[in-house]
């Protein structure tokens, strides 16, 4: 599949639909690559984690380009969006999602879609489990109007 970073820029509804379709195709390539070395069930779980991050959060919610290395999308996803959009956010589930996200970006790196610097940044964001764990804990401890302060610490804005 030949893609460029610009293929995933989102400036309109049409761009969002195009980026979503391209992302779906890329995720299918990712899944097929995973099935070369993993059982189908494991490959499906990993690809589903990447799909949830990319299509629900990055494209659907944030309307951003997941190939833009200047963004902190993994941190925003794991430190905010995942937490407020799950009934019972849990570190075990989030760790699994982060592992899938990391595998997807590893696939992109191996295919030459992202450079070493960007991949290092993603690895760092995916491995910051102590931060994400503290975010889940502090979310459950919010009192009165404390949500706004909590949100500012890892904002989606």
pTM, whole model, 2 decimals? Answer: 0.93
| pLDDT tens digits, 95-148 | 999 999 999 999 999 999 999 999 999 999 999 999 999 999 999 999 999 999
Residue 79 corresponds to which tokens in the numbers above?
A: 């430190």
Does residue 35 belong to any structural domain of this protein?
yes
Give the domain range for residue 43. 5-152
Does residue 148 belong to any structural domain of this protein?
yes
Task: Give the chain's domain count.
Answer: 1
Average pLDDT over residues 60-65: 94
Q: Name the DSSP class of 133.
A: H
- In sequence order, the 6+-apart residues with CB closer than 8 A to the CB of 138 are 150, 153
CA-based end-to-end distance of the chain: 32
Does residue 157 belong to any structural domain of this protein?
no
Does residue 69 belong to any structural domain of this protein?
yes
| pLDDT tens digits, 63-94 | 999 999 989 999 999 999 999 999 999 999 99
**Burial 61-70, CB ≥16 within 10 A → b, else e:** ebebbbbebe
- In sequence order, the 6+-apart residues with CB closer than 8 A to the CB of 103 are 30, 34, 46, 49, 50
**Burial 85-100, CB ≥16 within 10 A → b, else e:** eeeebebeebbebbbb
The stretches of 35-90 forming alpha helices (DSSP H) are 40-51, 73-76, 82-84
Does residue 142 belong to any structural domain of this protein?
yes
User: What are the φ and ψ backbone dihedral angles of 96, each rounded to 5 degrees?
Assistant: -65, -45
Burial of 37 (0-12, 13-18, 19+ CB in 10 A): exposed
Does residue 57 belong to any structural domain of this protein?
yes
């Amino acid at each position: 599949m030949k893609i460029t970073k610009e293929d995933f820029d989102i400036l309109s509804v049409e761009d969002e639909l195009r980026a979503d379709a391209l992302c779906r195709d890329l995720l299918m390539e990712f899944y097929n690559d995973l099935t070369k070395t993993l059982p189908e069930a494991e490959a499906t779980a990993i690809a589903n984690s990447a799909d949830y991050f990319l299509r629900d959060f990055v494209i659907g919610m944030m309307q951003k380009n997941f190939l833009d290395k200047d963004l902190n999308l993994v941190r925003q996803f794991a430190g905010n969006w995942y937490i407020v959009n799950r009934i019972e956010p849990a570190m075990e589930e989030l760790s699994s999602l982060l592992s899938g996200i990391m595998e997807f970006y590893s696939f992109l790196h191996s295919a030459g879609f992202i450079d070493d610097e960007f991949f290092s940044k993603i690895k760092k964001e995916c491995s910051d489990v102590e931060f994400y764990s503290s975010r889940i804990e502090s979310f459950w401890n919010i009192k009165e109007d404390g949500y706004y302060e909590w949100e500012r610490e890892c904002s989606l804005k």
